[in-house]
Amino acid sequence: MEACRIALEASENYDLICLDIMMPIMDGQEALRQIRDLEVAHGIFSKKGAKIIMTTAVGDMKTVGKAYYNLCDGYLTKPIQKAKLIEELQRQKLIK
């Protein structure tokens, strides 16, 4: 969260953030929500912020739905296949 805050304050926003759901201090859902709140506080709205892709072993529909509700841009379940990652990065227009 601190790295995101510092980047936003320096107007050097991240292009891509990959978040796991299961993290030790704060789960990925909460981190996602806080990142989006930080972006809004810095005048970055809707799809103009970082592309946030959830990369996690948790793939149940409730968890996936919550992530999209919290405005993630993509969701990949582990183990992540290279082809699926490349496809997602292309879909997000981060690579060609």
Instruction: Tell me whether residue 23 is in a domain.
Output: yes
Sequence-distant (6+) residues with CB within 8 A of 96 are 90
Question: Predicted confidence band at 19 (pLDDT cuts at 50, 70, 90)?
Answer: very high
- Residue-wise pLDDT for 25-45, tens only, equals 999 999 999 999 999 999 999
Instruction: Tell me whether residue 63 is in a domain.
Output: yes
Domains identified in the chain, total number: 1
Using the predicted structure, report yes or no on whether residue 15 has a pLDDT greater than 80: yes
Where does residue 13 rank: exposed (0-12), middle (13-18), buried (19+ CB within 10 A)?
middle
Q: What Rg value do the Cα atoms of the chain yield, rounded? A: 13
What is the value of pTM for the model shown? 0.92
Instruction: Tell me whether residue 96 is in a domain.
Output: no
For the domain that residue 6 is a member of, what is the CATH number?
Answer: 3.40.50.2300
For 35, the domain range is 2-91
Task: Convert 32-49 to b/e letters by CB count within 10 Å (16 or more is b).
Answer: bbebbebbeebeeeeeeb
Instruction: Tell me whether residue 81 is in a domain.
Output: yes
Instruction: Tell me whether residue 21 is in a domain.
Output: yes
Instruction: Tell me whether residue 29 is in a domain.
Output: yes
